[in-house]
C-alpha cells in the first residue's frame, strides 16, 4: 500500500462527487444530497473558491478525501481550518488513510498559520469519535450548532 495525498483538481470533480455520495450513504443522509458536479466545479474551482480538497490515492486508486475551508477565530486573531468532510471508502478503512489525510490537513493548517483545525462528527459515529480522540482531539460540547437552510434562510434574508 502506497498512500499519496494530493490536492483535488478540476478533473477530479466527478470523483469528488462520487466520494461525497459515498459519505452520504455511510451517514444515512443520501436524501439530503442536492450536490451536482456543476455546483462543485463552480464553488471548488471557480473564480471564488469556497473550499479545497485533498485526495488520497492508494497505488493510483482514489480511496478517500478531505474537504476543508478557512475560518477565522476572533479570540485567536488567526485563521483556522474547518474540515467539512473526511471519508475513506469502506474497503480501505482501518489502514491509516484517514490519519494520513488528517496529518496532511494539520500540516496545511500549520503552514498557513492557522490556530486551530475543527470539525463535527455525528454523535452515533463511535468509530470516528474514538479515532479522533486517539489523535488528541477534544469534543467542544459547550456549543450547539445551529443551521438555517431553505425557506427560513430566504425569509431571514428578506426574500
Residue that the C-alpha cell 500549520 belongs to: 110
| Residues 132, 33, 124, 71, CA torsion sign | positive
Q: Look up 82 and say whether it is catalytic.
A: no
How far apart are alpha carbons 73 and 121 in whole angstroms? 20
Pairing of strands 61-73, 52-58: antiparallel
Is the Cβ–Cβ distance between 109 and 117 less than 8 Å?
A: yes
How far apart are alpha carbons 18 and 34 in whole angstroms? 13
60, containing H or E segment: none
How far apart are alpha carbons 69 and 50 in whole angstroms? 7
Active-site entry in 50, 82, 132, 146: 132
Residues serving a catalytic function are 132
Amino acid at each position: 500500500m502506497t498512500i499519496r495525498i494530493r490536492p483535488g483538481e478540476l478533473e477530479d470533480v466527478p470523483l469528488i462527487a462520487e466520494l461525497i455520495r459515498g459519505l452520504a450513504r455511510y451517514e444515512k443522509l443520501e436524501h439530503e444530497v442536492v450536490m451536482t458536479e456543476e455546483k462543485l466545479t463552480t464553488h471548488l474551482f471557480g473564480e471564488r473558491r469556497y473550499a479545497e480538497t485533498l485526495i488520497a490515492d492508494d497505488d493510483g486508486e482514489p480511496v478517500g478525501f478531505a474537504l476543508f475551508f478557512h475560518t477565522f477565530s476572533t479570540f485567536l486573531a488567526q485563521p483556522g481550518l474547518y474540515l467539512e468532510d473526511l471519508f475513506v471508502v469502506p474497503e480501505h478503512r482501518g489502514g491509516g488513510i484517514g490519519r494520513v489525510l488528517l496529518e496532511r490537513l494539520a500540516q496545511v493548517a500549520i503552514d498557513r498559520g492557522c490556530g486551530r483545525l475543527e470539525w463535527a462528527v455525528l454523535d452515533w459515529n463511535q468509530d470516528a469519535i474514538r479515532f479522533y480522540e486517539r489523535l488528541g482531539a477534544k469534543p467542544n460540547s459547550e456549543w450547539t450548532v445551529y443551521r438555517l437552510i431553505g425557506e427560513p434562510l430566504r425569509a431571514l434574508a428578506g426574500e
